[in-house]
Each structure stands twice: as structure tokens, then as C-alpha cells.
Amino acid sequence: MWADADAKVDYLNFSEVAELAAEMVGTERLLPLSLGIFGTWGTGKSTVLNLMRGELSQHKDKFLFVEFDAWLHQDYDDARAALMSVIAKALLDEAPEGLREKARSLFKRTNKLRVLGYAAEGAAAFWGVPTFGLIRKGVEGLGDILSGDANEEDVKAIEEGAKDAKIKSEGLITPETKKSPPEEIVAFRQEFGEVLSGLGKTLVVLIDNIDRCTPPNTIHTLEAIRLFLFLPRTAFVIAADEDMVRHAVATHFKNPSLRLVEDYLDKLIQVPIRVPKLGVQDVRAYMLLLFAEASGAKGDRLEQLRAFLVDQLRQAWKPDAKFGVDDVLSILKPDDPTTLRSALDLADRMAPLLAYSANVNGNPRIIKRMLNVVRMRASVARKRKMELDESVIAKLALFERCTDAKAVDALHTAINASAGKPDFLATLESGRIDGDQVTEGCPPEILKHIDFVRDWAALEPTLSEVDLRPAVYLARETVPLRATAAKMSEAALRAIDVLRQVRTEASPTAKTAIESIATEERAVMEALIRRMRLNPEWSRPRDDFRGAVLLARANEDAGKMLASFVSSLGEKPPRWMTMMSGKAKEA
């Protein structure tokens, strides 16, 4: 199995992109700089951030790094205030003795801005500030100031909000230091610049997961960059899906012009860098590395293989640049070359289909997840003593991933109705099908994907002489999810996505999602459990399990399903899971 996590080692030849980004950030004459790492879900944006930081970290004395996960603060904090605080805290921690007092003043000033109504009530409570008097008008007024649209009424509303909240009694704003909100913001910018100048380092702020946030939080995070922190010796590197950010702009500003939607991000990001789409050779190299890693290769030999493949990809423009299974085996020198060759051969043959399929499109995260499904099923097959080769499982999983639910259902129905060996498979594998010719006995749901199916059928191993019923049985853990998903309401499908990404048990987004599925709790829990099974890593608290716990609290039947799932894991659950599950039982 492979961990579904952001990589810190380059398996995808993304080092070129990371090196380009690092070179720009490290060029002082380009500062201040805002740089965008753009790509869709799963394409490797976070990996590029990690690699870029690795490049810059070779010069630790020149850079101060701040990582900001906008999604992490979404449910309980104002994104603008949170970003300011995270950066101010980093400067305070880094400041030497002679600069520490000014850095401490900067950090305190971020608290003042929160108290003045800049943060949501939940954040104010977190900082120990009484919130019973904070009025919404004050919050909106400061929002106008930050956006450059303030007037006297806004300033007055904020000051009244501060007075109502009894801020003076907390000692955060004293008569000696009291300033109006606009003055506080100007003072914050000035102190920020002075502290950063005193440190003599370039501040590099890495912002990730901004495209997972709600539209207001997405916009507020971007505004914080523009309004507060765009000062000399700063570089902001933002990983995002451009389309998701533009959707946030369109939603937040309520039917803006098309030009505003297009220009908003372009004006904020000086240099856009797009994560390159993987081609066939990139996918081949990626899969060969994944299978080599899974075979137990590690240390110097795995690193030697990685360096070789990345170098070959960089030389791909040359006619004589090539690599294959033999190269991998010669570098790794495995104890059991026959078994590894079989796995590598399959990976090598699957690569073109994964690169070109519209349902995969070379997406590295989708590839890894599909391979994890294969490994999971192969493990179950061994435990149940099924005589089923992993290459057969992989070929069927490829069919599932690259077609659709109707085609998968049609294939499984045909397998079960023919003692595991549908006649049309032999015809497909023989290559006796041209153009749109309808193969006798082949379901139309499958023929709809004939271009893919033709290439898929040509892959080794052949399936026509294999009893495929055990493989269909194994697929029950994942395939029904696709069939069920087609029958779910839009609210249920959205709830699944939300509940798989719950960062805090107080998430209002999760609460709203659960309330929207009044009659589909069991189906949603079933989908959550099926997806959780794909990742066997339970050593640390997981967002998807937290979402399942929230659903279990809201519905008794869903709670029983979750309890059954925890029991099925076999080993003693980790402490964090026991505590989280215990809360669900109490509820």
C-alpha cells in the first residue's frame, strides 16, 4: 500500500518546477513576490510546495518559512486574522533578544485587531476575549476598512463594538496605546516591516488548501496577502486550483462581471506556475517507482532508481532517452526478480491507459488510490486463499476506474451469469473487433467505451480463461460505492465529501451537511466506511474518521455501522480513535 500523502521526494520530475519557483523566491530583486502553484485536485501542488521548500532550506540563514493551511482555520477563525497571527508568531519565535520586544508588540497588535471585531466570535473566545457584546456591525465595519471601502460610520461602529465587548477591561487597548482601527492596521504594517528588516531574512509564506475553503475564507485569505503582508523581503507562494478560486470570487462578490472573476486572481498572483500534466512516460516512471517501493526496495538503491528515472524524464526530448523494466531490475538487484518483473511489466503496460483515460488523466493521486485498491483486494484474496493473481485484480480495477458504473455493473453481471467466463472477453482479447462493430454478447454499456476496452483487452494477463467470480466478490468493497453513488441525492454526495475532510468536531459545515441528509445517513456512512478501508494508516487522528463520528452521533443506525467497522479492524484501536468513538457512544 502507498500512503495518500503529500510527497517530499520527487517521483514525478516536479523538481524542475520546484527549482524554478525556488530560484524566483531566492532572487531579491523580484521581491516582494506572489507566486501561484496552480493545478487541479491530486495533481501534486502540495508536493511542489514541499520540494520548493526543500530547495530553499539549503540556505537556512536566508529564509524564514511559514506554512499556512487555510482550511485548518476555516471552522473557527477568521482567515485574515489567522494568517496575520501565524506570521506574527513565527517572527516572534525567530526574533533575537534585541528585536524581541518589537516582535512581541507586533504579535500583541494582531490580538488587538482581532478584538476590534476582525475575528469571528469563536476566535475571540479562543483568545480569551469576552464576546457577549461584539456586534455584527462592528465586524462588517472593519471588513469595509480592510477592503478599502470604509467611511466614518464604519470606524464608529467598530469602536462601539469594542466598547460593548468591554475590551478596555481586558487591558488589551489602553488609553496610552488606543488607536482607531485604520491606525492599528498602518501600525501593524510598519512594525511588520521593521521586524522583518531586523531579522535580515526573506519571509516565505506557503499557503495551501485555500481552494478547499468556503468562498468567504478563500477571499479573506487572499485579501490578507494584498492588504497587510505585501512588504519588502516577502514571498507568498499559493497552491490552488484556479477554477475553484474563481468560483469563490464569483460567489463571494455576488454575480460580478466576468472580467472581475478572471482578473481577481491574475492581479494578485504575479507569477503563475502550473503543475505539468503527466504524460505516458511520466506515468510509467511514477508507477515503476511505486511498485519498486512496494517491493521493499529502499535506501540507496531506491534513491538511485529515482534519480535515474527523473534524469531520463528530463532527457526525454532526446531520441536515445529511454527506460524500462530491465533498467529498474538492474539498479534494484532484487532477491526475487521474477515476481518483481511481473509487477513492473503490468505497471508498464497500464501506464498509457492511465495517462490517456479521461477518468484518470494522469492524475498521480488517482493512480495511487487505484493501486491501493488493487493491493487491498490482493491482500484479502491471500487471506481467504483465493487463487487469484494480483495482475488479474489490477486489470479489473483498471476497467472500473476508466469506464463508468453502468459498464462495471454490466461486466459483473455477465461474469456471474457465465460461470465466471463471459464469451465476449475471448473475442475482445483476440482483437477481432474493428471500429464500431458490435461484438456478439458484449453488453452495450461496455461497447460505449470501445476505444478504451480494445486497449484494455490487449493487456496481459488475458482474462477469458480465468474464473472471474472471486474477483467480482472482492470488488464488492468498492464497486457498490459507485453504483450507490449514482442513486444518492446531491446533498448526500456533498455530505460524503464534507465529512471526509472534517478538521474539528465543532465544524458548522459538517453539521449543515448532516442536517441535509435526513433519510440517507446509512448510505453516507456506508460510503465513508468503504473509503476509509482504502487507507489502512490509523496511527494518527484522521479527518474522515472524525466526520464519521459526527454522523454516528446524529444517527443511531450510522453509529452501529461505525462501531462494527472499528471492531472489524481487528487490532486494538489507537487511543485517539477510542476517545473519539467514546464521545460518539455518549452522544
3-state secondary structure 388-422: CCHHHHHHHHHHHHHCCHHHHHHHHHHHHHCCCCC
- Rounded Cα distance between 275 and 50, Å, is 13
Q: What are phi and psi of 272, to 5 degrees?
A: -90, 135
The answer to whether residue 23 scores a pLDDT higher than 90 is yes
Q: Which of 19-23, 83-87, 116-120, 164-168 has the highest mean pLDDT?
A: 19-23
C-alpha cell at position 173? 487597548
Q: What is the pTM of this model?
A: 0.65
3-state secondary structure of 229: coil
Q: What's the pLDDT score for residue 2?
A: 61
pLDDT, tens only, 334-387? 888 888 888 888 888 888 888 888 778 788 888 888 888 888 888 888 888 888
Q: In what order do the strands lie in the sheet with 271-274?
A: 63-69, 202-208, 234-240, 33-38, 271-274
The pLDDT confidence band at residue 117, using thresholds 50, 70 and 90, is: very low
Look up residue 459 and give its amino acid.
L
Dump the DSSP string for 435-495.
TTPPPTT--HHHHTTHHHHHHHHTSSSP-TTS--HHHHHHGGGTHHHHHHHHHS-HHHHHH
User: Quick one: average pLDDT of 146-174?
Assistant: 47
pLDDT of the residue at 217: 80
Confidence at residue 485, expressed as pLDDT on a 0 to 100 scale: 45
Q: Which pLDDT belongs to residue 331?
A: 92
pLDDT digits (tens, 9 = 90+) for 251-279: 888 777 888 887 888 888 888 999 888 88
Closest CA to 187 of 298, 245, 113, 99: 113
CA-based nearest residue to 424, from 446, 392, 394, 452: 446
* 45-83 residues labelled b (16+ CB within 10 A) or e (exposed): bbbbbbbbbebbeeeeeebbbbebbbbbbbbbbbbbbbb
Q: Which of 2-6, 103-107, 515-519 has the lowest mean pLDDT?
A: 2-6
pLDDT tens column, 410-444: 898 888 888 888 888 888 888 655 544 555 678 88
pLDDT at residue 88, as a whole number: 87
In terms of Cβ atoms closer than 10 Å to its own Cβ (0-12, 13-18, 19+), residue 323 is buried
State yes or no: pLDDT of 330 exceeds 70.
yes
Answer whether 11's CB lies under 8 Å from 286's CB. yes
Going by C-alpha positions, the residue among 404, 437, 530, 553 that lies closest to residue 475 is: 530
- Judged by average pLDDT, the poorest of 335-344, 395-404, 479-488, 514-523 is 479-488
Instruction: Look up residue 398 and give its three cell numbers.
Output: 483498471
pLDDT in tens, 522-534: 888 888 888 787 6
Query: H or E element: which one contains 525?
Result: helix 521-532
Q: Name the strand (E) or helix (H) holding 112.
A: helix 97-113
For position 586, what pLDDT does the model report?
45
Residue 471 to residue 505: CA distance in whole angstroms: 38
Q: Compare 147 and 467 and report the one with higher pLDDT.
A: 467
User: What is the per-residue pLDDT for 166?
Assistant: 41
What is the reported pLDDT for 133? 33
47-78 pLDDT per residue, tens: 899 999 999 988 878 999 999 887 776 655 56
- Which is more confident, 27 or 147? 27
Q: Half-sphere exposure (CA, 13 Å, Cβ side) for 289? A: 24
pLDDT of residue 144: 46
